[in-house]
Structure 1
Amino acid sequence: MEAVRRIDPRLLAIAGAAFISVSAILFRLSGVSSGTAALFRCALALPVLAPLALWERRRAGPRRRGAVDVAAGLLLGADLVLWGASIERVGAGIATVLVNVQVVVVPLLALAVLGERPTRRFAFAVPVMLTGVALAGGLAGHGTGSDPVAGIAFGTAAGAAYAGYLFLTRVAGRGQRHRAQPVLLSTCGAGVMAVALGAPWQGVDVTPGWAALGWLAALSMTGQVCGWMLIGAALPRLRAEEGGTLLLLQPVLAVAFGAAVLGERPGIVQIAGCALVLAAVRLAGRPRAERSDSERAPSPPGTVHRRDDSAARAAARSRVGTRA
């Protein structure tokens, strides 16, 4: 776990986004409902996460803020079910845009709760990001779906729940050395919400068949275990807008994996959307430059600036040598 802390958090976020971007493909290959996929995505992850969390507890001690992790998981479970319902009613393109309103909501939550101001560069990049996501998700050329009003409502709710999950994950992970325990707790919360919300609404099939179980197991290992452990390790070390921006790579990577795995051929508009997202991520994700001494706030009047004694003596010797 200590080795993970030495890796650039931006690389961790990108790797996590890559794992999660495969989720849509594996979900489609499983052929089950979104409620069933959400349940098995969480349930099949528990046998892997539980031993990791136990080993981590012995090394790093018990996890604090466990209630926050469970609350985050409840929001994640709601996101998984609502997003699937949105896709069915409004189409994948609009649903993808709506769920990615997190790129705006997460920084707003950080500003309201933590007083963390987003950069001006990020504000300029947001419209470009959302336009690129819309095009990459196939919004152009797709109809509005069978029930656009309900689909937009479900997609917006899914985006808000997703943003809440990311924000709580970031807050709960600050100053913590745990990686497996928070994902385990949030996975339990997500599974409970998937059953509570998905079972009465969409139905949950507890016997989907062996072929579907194989795809769901792959979905669980990539999207739930690897993806969220990497993202959970990255978000507490990134600014709110930077983490949310890097996660916008998911739809771009989903287009790439769809072409590689399913043989899907993205159109020119989708490729242009991917290029827009990449350009916006590059712009908004650029780290802030360190301020130079001349840019720092001036010291109050009367403040005495002390230099290191060795530096002062070296400067004095240099002046003496110059005068000689």
Structure 2
Amino acid sequence: MSQLGPVAASSVVTPSMEGMTARARPLTGTPSPAPEPSYAMAALILGCLFVGSSSALIKLSGATAGTAAFLRCALALVVFAPLLAVEWRRFGLPPRRMLVLSAGGGVFLGADYLMWTQSIVDIGAGIATVLIGVQVVVFPFLAWLFQKEPVPTRFLVVLPLMFVGLALTGGVVDADAAASNPVRGALLGVAAGVCYAAFLFLNRPASALDRRMLFTPVGTTTCVAALGIGAVAGLGDVAGGIDLALSARAWVLLTMVAVLGQAVSFVLIGYGLVRLPAGRAAAVMLLQPLGAVALGMVALHERPTPAQWAGIVITVVAVALATVTRRRPRRRGR
């Protein structure tokens, strides 16, 4: 979670990286999104706020990292199941390659959720959400390494800035005294961002196989992630294990994470991104880390240190420089 939330799981980051953010741009058959009425912007803003609030809800639940990560996926399947049934009835069974790629992405998404959730516990909801922004620069390098796609120059320029911001945010200079394990939390947050970038890299060709199927890739990915987290955290007792003996309050909070932070946010963000110019959409997507930091301060009384504040600002600026593009005016002929 985004991860970035985790966040629009059937999205894809384009090679040019226009509009790429913590939760990337979805694949559609439309070459360039046309502006729509204000409800497209409202949908995108609401989706980003849902994703940004996930980290705070997870910490407020008091559940172990393994429990929160598992239930986020398992409960979301209740929402995706009927959507998958409708989609398959309408378009037929999905291509086998789509399922294979989506399943591979699910392995990385499960690892992302486990590490990011533990990072929330270790270093705080807001800081953890900022740290996973490393995916913004990891994805183009994966595309270059495996698909020989050129890396845009601006990503090479902002890379050192991003590393400085992540280091400061992670507490290299100093960290919030209330953080239980800032070093481990910082490392896990960055590693989660790398895993999320790998998930997006596999999800991209999976979604391209049949662009009509919006829910099959994310549904398959979520299912595999739930199984993987269940095996690692449940059987291996990693990240605190899985404990379903939760209070009613914890169940409500984690259900909100699954429904709002995973399923509904995917629909809202996907709807908004394809109807807004890339630069404007990318700017709105910055609400995810900023919202997480703000909510962490209000709801969880998290207090980033001055050095961490500097890191947050540097990281967000680096993401903005890498993703927010100006919309070039079209030349009109006479």
TM-score (norm 1): 0.70
Give the structure 2 partner of residue 252 of structure 1: 290
Distance 1:155 1:3 in 2: 30
2:166 paired with 1:166? no
Alpha-carbon distance, 1:248 to partner = 6.1
Could you report, residue by residue, the CA deviation over 1:278-300 in whole angstroms, capped at 9, with x for unpaired residues?
5434432244877999xxxxxxx
2:54 paired with 1:20? no
- With 190-199 and 96-105 compared, the bigger mean Cα shift is at 96-105
Distance 1:267 1:172 in 2: 42
CA gap of 1:133–1:178, structure 2 versus 1, over 3 A, is farther
- With 198-207 and 271-280 compared, the bigger mean Cα shift is at 271-280
Distance 1:86 1:94 in 2: 9
Identity %: 39
Alpha-carbon distance, 1:58 to partner = 2.6
Secondary structure at the counterpart of residue 81 of structure 2: helix
Distance 2:306 2:161 in 1: 17
Distance 2:29 2:54 in 1: 23
Distance 1:126 1:105 in 2: 10
Give the structure 2 partner of residue 307 of structure 1: none
Contact kept in structure 2, 1:92 and 1:138, CA below 8 Å: no
Give the structure 1 partner of residue 74 of structure 2: 43
2:214 paired with 1:183? no
CA gap of 1:288–1:111, structure 2 versus 1, over 3 A, is farther
| The one of 100, 103, 128 aligned to 2:161 | 128
| The one of 231, 235, 249 aligned to 1:196 | 231
Q: 1:8-157 counterparts in 2 under 5 A?
A: 16-64=47-95, 65-86=98-119, 99-132=132-165, 141-142=174-175, 154-157=188-191
Structure 1: segments with no counterpart, 5+ residues: 294-324
Contact kept in structure 2, 1:40 and 1:220, CA below 8 Å: yes
Contact kept in structure 2, 1:81 and 1:197, CA below 8 Å: no
Alpha-carbon distance, 1:191 to partner = 0.5
Contact kept in structure 2, 1:93 and 1:134, CA below 8 Å: no
Aligned Cα root-mean-square deviation (Å): 4.5
Contact kept in structure 1, 2:176 and 2:303, CA below 8 Å: no
CA gap of 1:288–1:157, structure 2 versus 1, over 3 A, is same
Contact kept in structure 1, 2:102 and 2:220, CA below 8 Å: yes
Contact kept in structure 2, 1:33 and 1:204, CA below 8 Å: yes
- With 61-70 and 213-222 compared, the bigger mean Cα shift is at 61-70
- With 18-27 and 156-165 compared, the bigger mean Cα shift is at 156-165
Contact kept in structure 2, 1:66 and 1:185, CA below 8 Å: yes
Give the structure 1 partner of residue 255 of structure 2: 217
Alpha-carbon distance, 1:207 to partner = 2.2
TM-score (norm 2): 0.68
Distance 1:272 1:147 in 2: 20
How many residues get paired? 292
**1:165 maps to amino acid:** F
CA gap of 1:100–1:275, structure 2 versus 1, over 3 A, is closer
Alpha-carbon distance, 1:13 to partner = 7.2
Secondary structure at the counterpart of residue 142 of structure 1: coil
